[in-house]
Amino acid sequence: MKSEEEQILHLLGLARMSRSLVYGTNDTLTAIQGQKAKVAFFPKDGGASQQKKFRDKTSFYQVTLVEDFTKDELSQAIGLNRSIMAITNNGFAKKIKQLLEEKERN
């Protein structure tokens, strides 16, 4: 059985294929501010100033921010060299939030 983390990364790949994922700093911030982003991802090995910006924005717009993965893990999951991204689809977002809760419980 896959771990919650593996399932989340797999869902990111599926979200990209179904065009339910925005990636890159600007597009992700735009999605957060436009309240299209449901769950945002920022790499745990990302820069401190960018991290603060994303924490502030996601907190203000009440978007779940996930910082559990490295740049490499996130890039591999979507098959692109991008590590900042957001899910815009409610179904994917709901499942990812569910997996995050399970991960915290374990």
Tokens of 28: 């992700």
16-30 pLDDT, tens digit per residue, is 999 999 999 999 999
- Cα 30–chain centre separation: 14
How far are the Cα atoms of 21, 49, 71, 75 from residue 102, in angstroms, in the given order? 23, 30, 23, 23
pTM here is 0.96
**What is the rounded distance in angstroms from the CA atom of residue 93 to the CA atom of residue 40?**
9
| Distance separating the N- and C-terminal Cα atoms of the chain | 15
80-103 pLDDT, tens digit per residue, is 999 999 999 999 999 999 999 999
28-74 pLDDT, tens digit per residue, is 999 999 999 999 999 999 999 999 999 999 999 999 999 999 999 99
